[in-house]
Structure 1
Amino acid sequence: MDSLRGLAVVLVVLHHAVGVPRVLGVGEGLLLPGWDGFVAFFSSFRMPTLLVMSGMLLATSVRKPLIPFISGKIRKVLWPYVVWVLLTLTALGGLSTVTNPRMWLTGPYHMWFLVVLLFCYPAGWLSRWIPAWLMAVGMVALLVVRDPSSTWIRRVLFYGAIFMMGAALRRYLPSLLAMPGWIAGLLGVVGLSIACSHSFRWGLAQLNHRQVWTLLLPWGGSCL
């Protein structure tokens, strides 16, 4: 699990190694040929892998008493978020963005991931009483039925559903690992096809919180 999470983190870093210089308008000529295709290959699997792995570890977290649970998330999620948002906004946006509450609420630039976790862990505490799969279904239902206009709410619900599905899958992990090789291979082919479609721009949609059906895309790629 640690190796898989580490690989996903490396892929996220490689993605931002392309994206951040472009946002800043520098470094375009430094990219290797085919780099965009390489980054796009993993576009629907990077963040879902991190979120599913985090969700699978939720059961261990919620076994703790409430105060140690909260203090741990403050140290490991909230405090890094505050530090890096402050540094990022100061460097790129100046004082006006640092004092803008909306920037802190939505998660500027690549910090949105920590906003999702800051939502998922308190919601995850409720998994002591409410099944994680039911919360995942509820989040998807809100996206479909209510269709929130706010981008950050859609993003939190969309990726929060992936987190909760990871939490729900933990109990089935032994069965998943013991699945017949041909099923894993078939799912791997599906995931490979999705990844190649992104890399070669064959038209298949990528993971997108504005398109709820794309929640289905990462699951085949989990076998890659």
Structure 2
Amino acid sequence: MAGAGRAVWIDLLRGCSILLVMVFHSYIFAANDTGVRSSVLDVVTGTFEPLRMPTMMLLSGLFVPRSLEKGARPYLVGKLRRIGYPYLVWSVFMLVFLFVGSLTVGLRFDPAWVGRVFYDPIEHLWFLGYLLIYFVLAYLFRSLPSVPVIAVAVGLSLLPLAFEWQHFWQLLAFFLVGVAVSGRAGPRLALPTVRGRAWFLLLTTLAVSMGLVVTGLMDSFRFWLFPLSLLGIVGAAGIARRAPSSRVTGGIAFVGRHSIVFYLVHWPVAIVSSEIAAHLLALPTLAVSGVNLVASTAVCTLLAFAYGRSAIVRGLFVAPQRRGWR
């Protein structure tokens, strides 16, 4: 999935974001099934909230200018193949999955959700839905100055709208920042060339975020953290660019290169493992969270390896290339 010449630090940063998302969902499913929350995991997952999805959106925006250079048709067709297609495939899969789950283990399912696929993504597929819209907007905004457009998105995220709309506009702002800095991704995203400065920015962001979580103020300030999140992402990028090559960083980068596999697959796997660990094995919340994370990571890793070796597996995540599509 990595394009030619793709920067390793981008894969590393994306991999970290995906793993944080998986940790969060593993815990949420565990808490829902056991009925008991963990104060420790509440703080840990809440602390990373300002970085998880904003980082993924900003990194996605980095690839827009290079894609636009190919022309309108290849740009839009490419997004349909790699975002629109898996969105539809996995929407169908999740509808079937939830329907079967409603008959067997009591998962929630409503036939009306079939129609939601076209205007309100189900489960975790909102990310692909947002991303597809963002790429279309980036094409439409390509001739506009970036700063005013980003400012409008940030401003809209601060309006007293429904949470989903505030979330949509805030993540669009991060995506557009990625578009704006993509031509100079090195200097803009890794300003703190000294390792200590990068860590200072990242740890400051996490410290403020943790303070808001512990004091119960995160809900009040969630959409006002745009500047703080940017500083944290810049710090994380600086650390990632200077990270030494090792098995650990290589493994995280692997997750980043196959991010769509890990993102799409971990959700249903964690739901199944959580049902088993919580209801059949009667494990506590922390243990169920761990089981969910291990199970989803294992299945995602197997499918990620199979992605490059099996056309069938690859067809679950990207539409086959057809002659005349370019």
Give the aligned partner of residue 46 of structure 1: 52
Q: What does 1:59-208 align with in structure 2 at a 5 Å threshold?
A: 59-90=65-96, 91=98, 92-94=107-109, 96-101=111-116, 104-144=118-158, 147=159, 149-176=161-188, 177-179=190-192, 181=194, 183-197=197-211, 201-205=214-218
> SS of the residue aligned with 1:96?
coil
Could you tell me how far 1:107 is from its partner in structure 2? 1.8
Maintained 8 Å contact 1:43/1:206 = no
Q: Render the CA deviation track for 1:88-128: whole Å, top value 9, x for unaligned.
A: 23415445133334x54122232221121121100111343
Which of 1 and 2 has higher RCO (CA within 8 Å, sep 6+)? 2
Question: For the residues of structure 1 that align with 2:115 and 2:164, how far apart are their CA atoms?
Answer: 15
Gaps of 5+ in 2: 1-9, 99-106, 237-326
Q: Which amino acid aligns with 2:148?
A: L
Gap change, CA 1:126 and 1:21, over 3 Å in 2: same
The higher radius of gyration belongs to: 2
> SS of the residue aligned with 2:17?
helix
> SS of the residue aligned with 1:79?
helix
Maintained 8 Å contact 1:44/1:207 = no
- Number of corresponding residues: 215
Question: For the residues of structure 2 that align with 1:165 and 1:218, how far apart are their CA atoms?
Answer: 12
Could you tell me how far 1:84 is from its partner in structure 2? 2.0
Q: Which amino acid aligns with 1:169?
A: V
Question: For the residues of structure 2 that align with 1:194 and 1:207, how far apart are their CA atoms?
Answer: 14
User: Which stretch has the larger CA shift, 105-114 or 31-40?
Assistant: 31-40
Q: Which amino acid aligns with 1:164?
A: L
Maintained 8 Å contact 1:55/1:164 = yes
> SS of the residue aligned with 2:149?
helix
Question: For the residues of structure 2 that align with 1:45 and 1:206, how far apart are their CA atoms?
Answer: 15
Which of 14, 29, 33 is equivalent to 1:26?
33
Gaps of 5+ in 1: none
Gap change, CA 1:36 and 1:137, over 3 Å in 2: same
TM-score, normalization by structure 2? 0.57
Identity of aligned pairs, percent? 24
Tell me the C-alpha RMSD between the 2 structures. Answer: 2.9
Gap change, CA 1:2 and 1:82, over 3 Å in 2: same
TM-score, normalization by structure 1? 0.80
Q: Render the CA deviation track for 1:25-63: whole Å, top value 9, x for unaligned.
A: 42457x888333332231211101101111111111211
